[in-house]
Amino acid sequence: MLKFKRQFIAAKFIEPSGRMVEKSIEIRTHPITGRTCRIAFSRIHEKEAATDSLPPPPPDAGQSSTCPFCQPQVTSKTPRLHPDLVPDGRMVQGDSLLFPNLFPYGSYSAVNLFNDEHFVEIGRASVSSYADGFINCGRYLKSVLNCDPLAVFMAITQNHLPSAGGSLVHPHLQINADRVPGNHHRFLMNKAAEFKQQHGEHLFSSYLNHEKAEGSRYIGTTGSWEWLAAFAPEGFYEIWGVLPEITSIQSVTAGDWRDLAQGVINIQRFYRSICRNGYNLGLLSVETPDGSLELRVVLVVRSNYAPWVRSDYTGYEVMLGDMATFVAPEQTAEWSRSFFGS
Ligand SMILES: [Zn+2]
């Protein structure tokens, strides 16, 4: 039902040494989006700056006194939620704290802090801090839906370190809900509905079943979540977590959020093992009663946050729209499996 298309091409030329060579490139078509990406295998041997070891902490890693997310100034420097949404102004779950984004991207735009730790290296956070953070986000999104039932397009995202878009190093999640969908909401919502109508199955479950049977990109499970390397990645070391058959954040239990947190920390540990300190995370949902888009979290490595590092978005990605990565997804799966105890 889904096509996992692979094409192989080659570039022939004479190397500086005088040797005639043929270098292979693989083009994969994304089974869901139909977008192509390239795996330029020869570039894996290229030495990226600042990936020999994990980069040192960023310059502002010790500057908690000027950080608006640190105690005690967090209560005076950050805004409070509208009383229609949450009477207490901020939401607390364990050590996590949720409040509105002072610089909103949408109608319901919030920030969740895991705790008062100003800088946490990738892979070093506790699972419970992420679990509490996700539970807090889920509760906030439920309140949004109670208050505005049409704000159905929801997202939880993370920019870990400024190279991934984070404006403050203090670890946090962004939460967004709106009546207006993002491009990916719009595309995935329609695709999942069309797929369900045509095949009587959920889109991501069908994708997952193919990948579990095929095996080479399947990584493992954390409780209810299933993890796999993306077949046609749109970012470096792209990994998905799928919560099969669950189409609403409102159906996610505290146990599911804990299982998600465990998977995210496992992937952070994998990224740390390959000396990468920046990544993005995203979980989208469409909260319509008849929605058929299952929950899926995506994680991708971004350029390291360190001096003199080049961007991972080149003219190729920006102008041609084809992600060019250097590592086969099967390799990503193989390297990450040990972090899932499998
Ligand atoms: Zn801080």
Ligand 1: centre distance to CA 53 (Å): 25
Q: How much is the pLDDT for 47?
A: 76
First to last CA, the chain: 28
| Mean pLDDT of the region 294-319 | 95
Model confidence band, residue 50 (pLDDT cutoffs 50, 70, 90) = confident
Longest dimension (CA), the chain: 73
Ligand 1: centre distance to CA 63 (Å): 7
Ligand 1: centre distance to CA 170 (Å): 5
Ligand 1: centre distance to CA 224 (Å): 32
Ligand 1: centre distance to CA 16 (Å): 50
Retrieve residue 134's tokens: 């996700």
Q: How much is the pLDDT for 341?
A: 87
Q: How much is the pLDDT for 209?
A: 98
Q: Are 275 and 53 in contact (CB under 8 A)?
A: yes
Ligand 1: centre distance to CA 121 (Å): 13
Ligand 1: centre distance to CA 61 (Å): 8
Ligand 1: centre distance to CA 336 (Å): 30
Q: Are 177 and 151 in contact (CB under 8 A)?
A: yes
Strand locations in the chain (E): 5-14, 20-29, 36-40, 91-93, 96-100, 108-113, 153-160, 172-178, 218-222, 225-229, 236-243, 278-286, 295-302, 323-325
Q: Which one-letter amino acid corresponds to residue 248?
A: S
State percent of the chain over pLDDT 90.
Answer: 96
| pLDDT tens readout for residues 206-252 | 999 999 999 999 999 999 999 999 999 999 999 999 999 999 999 99
Secondary structure letter of residue 334 according to DSSP: H
Angle at Cα 250 formed by Cα 244 and Cα 255, nearest 5°? 65
Q: How much is the pLDDT for 342?
A: 60
Ligand 1: centre distance to CA 301 (Å): 23
Q: How much is the pLDDT for 28?
A: 98
Retrieve residue 146's tokens: 């109670």
| Mean pLDDT of the region 183-200 | 98
State percent of the chain over pLDDT 70.
Answer: 100
Ligand 1: centre distance to CA 47 (Å): 33
In this structure, which residues have their CB less than 5 angstroms from ion ligand 1?
64, 67, 69-70, 118, 170
Mean pLDDT taken over the chain? 96
Instruction: Give the position of tokens 């997202």.
Output: 155
Burial category of 18 from C-beta neighbours within 10 Å (exposed 0-12, middle 13-18, buried 19 and up): exposed
Model confidence band, residue 51 (pLDDT cutoffs 50, 70, 90) = confident
Rounded distance, CA 112 to CA 176, Å? 11
Ligand 1: centre distance to CA 71 (Å): 8
What SS3 class is residue 232? coil
CA distances from 160 to 79, 151, 157, 166, 292 (A): 22, 26, 10, 6, 30
Beta bridge partners of 176: 109, 155
Is the overall model pTM greater than 0.85, yes or no? yes
| pLDDT tens readout for residues 123-148 | 999 999 999 999 999 999 999 999 99
Rounded distance, CA 250 to CA 276, Å? 33
| Mean pLDDT of the region 268-294 | 97
pLDDT at 48 over 90: no
Burial category of 108 from C-beta neighbours within 10 Å (exposed 0-12, middle 13-18, buried 19 and up): buried
Model confidence band, residue 200 (pLDDT cutoffs 50, 70, 90) = very high
